[in-house]
Structure 1
Amino acid sequence: MKGILFTGGELTDLVTFAQLPVYLQTFLREQNGVVAYFGGLHIRGCVAEPTWHSLDAAWHGEEAFWRTYDEVMESDIPFGQDCVGNQFLLRGDAVLWLDTETGELADLEVDFKHFLFGVEKFPLDALSMEPLRAFQQSGGVLRPGQLLSVYPPFCMATNDQQPSSTKAISAAERLAWLANFYRQIKDLPDGQSIRFTPDQN
């Protein structure tokens, strides 16, 4: 992997580690999670701290994705995320992609090994890194523990031609905002007009 900003150090959460499939255990033994591609990909590790890097917090904690998103199962392993907070999940041997704005779940039709292979070969496409690239080109830096906040949300069509804006915020703040946004829009029909307050983002 390129552009590594952070690695998770020592395996300290052996309870969570023991629940993982062998191939993910093998990866985490080599590096206990990583922030790579200058923030384009975060693979969580088996640690208690920092919380933003904890696989257990994302999987079993109070803000676990299955507690919020209707399509996510409690057994789905939220092993990673992209630069804006969309999630990569393991369901059996399949890698799924969770759109954290809309709650839509897509099967990427690859296993973990081939997911990593695709990311290595085509990181811009595999990780949808366009917002991060634009942010970097304007002088922005995404630090470990941060995600990009994007306005307007990707799933919204706006009446004006205002370009999207991005800023780096804490991962916890971004994921909480996304969960709240999803709860508010999940039962709305496509094309529903809504009034959006940007200062919440």
Structure 2
Amino acid sequence: MKGIVYTGGELTDLVSFARLPSYMQTFLREQNGVVAYFGGLHIRGCVSEPIWHSLSEAWQGEKAFWRTYDTVVETDIPFAQDCVGNQFLLRGDAVLFLDTETGELADLEVDFKHFLFGAEKFPLDALGMEPLRGFQQRGGVLQPGQLLSLFPPVCINTAQEPQAKPQAAAERLAWLADLYLQIKNLPDGQRLNLKPGQD
């Protein structure tokens, strides 16, 4: 992986580690999660701190994705996220993509190994890094523990181009969950008034 800006250090959450498939354990033994591609991909680690890097927090915590998103089940492992907070989940050996604005779930038709291979070979497309690239071209740097906040959201049909700015990962994910809960039952074409997330 290129552009590594953070690695997870020592395995401290052995309970979550024991529940993972063997290929995921092998990966996390080598590096306990990583932020790579200058923030384009964050693979969570088996740690209790920092919270933003904790696989257990995303998987079983109070704000675990299965508690909010109707398409996610408790056994789905939210092992990674992209630069804007969309999630990559393991369901069995399949990697799924969760759009955290809409709750839509797509099977990427790859396993973990091929997901990593695709990200390495085609990071811009495989990881949806266009917002990050634009942010970097304007001199922005995404720090570990941050995601890009896009406003207006990508799922909203508007003439306005989304503006990207860094936001603490927990705040960004909470804002996305709130958006999802507000729009999940609305019909297509519904008019909305949205407020940007807090800095």
**Structure 1 segments of 4 or more deviating over 4 A?**
none
Q: Distance in 2 between matches of 1:199 and 1:24?
A: 33
Letter in 2 for 1:166: A
1:33 maps to a residue whose letter is G
Change (3 A) 1:41 1:199: closer
- CA displacement at 1:196 relative to structure 2: 1.8
| Structure 1: gaps (5+ residues) | none
Structure 2 residues without counterparts, runs of 5 or longer: none
Cα offset, 1:162, TM superposition: 2.9
Alignment correspondent of 2:98: 98
Q: Secondary structure at the match of 1:103?
A: coil
User: What CA deviation, in whole Å up to 9, does each residue of 1:41-90 have, x standing for no partner?
Assistant: 00000000000000000000000000000000000000000000000000
1:198 shift after superposition:
3.0
Note the C-alpha offset of 1:200.
5.3
TM-score (norm 1): 0.97
> 1:196 and 2:194 equivalent?
yes
Of the three residues 155, 176, 179, the one matched with 1:178 is 176
Q: TM-score, normalised by structure 2?
A: 0.98
Alignment RMSD: 1.0
Greater mean alpha carbon deviation, residues 68-77 or residues 184-193: 184-193
1:199 to 1:49, Cα distance in 2 relative to 1, 3 A: closer
**Maintained 8 Å contact 2:43/2:79:** yes
Taking the aligned partners of 1:195 and 1:28, their CA distance within structure 2 comes to: 42
> Partners of 2:154 and 2:160 in 1: how far apart?
13
How far 1:193 sits from its partner (Å)? 1.2
Identity %: 77
* CA–CA separation in structure 1 for the residues paired with 2:132 and 2:30: 27
Letter in 2 for 1:47: V
How many angstroms apart in 1 are the aligned matches of 2:10 and 2:150?
A: 33
Aligned residue number for residue 155 of structure 1: 155
Q: 1:162-187 CA distances to partner (integer Å, 9 max, x unpaired)?
A: 32211001000000000000000000
